[in-house]
Amino acid sequence: MKNQFKGIIAILLLVVFSISASSLESAEIYKWKDKDGNIVFSDTPPPPGVNAEIKEFKEESTERPKAKGNFPKPSSERVEERRPYRDINVIMYMTAWCSYCVKAREYLRSLDVYLIEYNVERDKSKRDEMLSKSGGSTGVPLIDIEGIILRGYNPGAIKAAVERRRSL
């Protein structure tokens, strides 16, 4: 708590001194440690016998000329609404013995999407559902990312489909 208080005081002093320094053509700020080991910033010299570091601040103009016209913000400044990964619903049709199903599960969990898994060997109705979505293909895993159907395990395709659904 005491260290946080010291840090806040130091930041406040820096702000105050930078404001006063900007109003002058140049200003000197002294930095030293007091007898308790606290760092002190001041625009007045330290007591005699105290070794201080002197920082000189020069006024620099930071104003920019006013632009004429209404220009669009650069794409890096645009805020794009995106859904959180956990709000993306993913259904994976799989089997217990499929190593690609295991890899797909691990990858989808690493993305933190909402994942539902159906073992098509245990649940025949889910097998029929999978066949309907895959156009009759029996290969697993079959991944349904909110209507985007992916056959097999392809991390790049999974990520791209998830990102498409995040942008909605």
Tokens in use for 97? 């013995």
> How many domains in the chain?
2
Q: pLDDT 10s per residue in the chain (168 long)?
A: 566 666 677 676 666 655 554 444 556 777 878 878 787 777 778 878 878 787 765 655 556 556 566 656 666 666 668 999 999 999 999 999 999 999 999 999 999 999 999 999 999 999 999 999 999 999 999 999 999 999 999 999 999 999 999 986
pLDDT, position 53: 81
The tens digit of pLDDT for each residue in 34-81 reads 878 787 777 778 878 878 787 765 655 556 556 566 656 666 666 668
pLDDT, position 21: 47
Residue 59 to residue 21: CA distance in whole angstroms: 7
Burial (Cβ within 10 Å: 0-12, 13-18, ≥19) of residue 147: exposed
CATH code, 137? 3.40.30.10
Same domain, 151 and 96: yes
Taking a C-beta distance cutoff of 8 angstroms, is the pair 111, 156 a contact? no
Same domain, 121 and 49: no
Identify whether 76 is part of a domain: no
Identify whether 91 is part of a domain: yes
Same domain, 29 and 100: no
Identify whether 64 is part of a domain: no
Identify whether 104 is part of a domain: yes
Identify whether 127 is part of a domain: yes
Identify whether 114 is part of a domain: yes
Same domain, 96 and 159: yes
Same domain, 159 and 95: yes
List the domain range (segments joined by +) for residue 53.
2-58
CA nearest neighbour of 150 among 86, 97, 94, 82:
94
CA nearest neighbour of 117 among 94, 137, 138, 100:
94
Identify whether 153 is part of a domain: yes
Identify whether 99 is part of a domain: yes
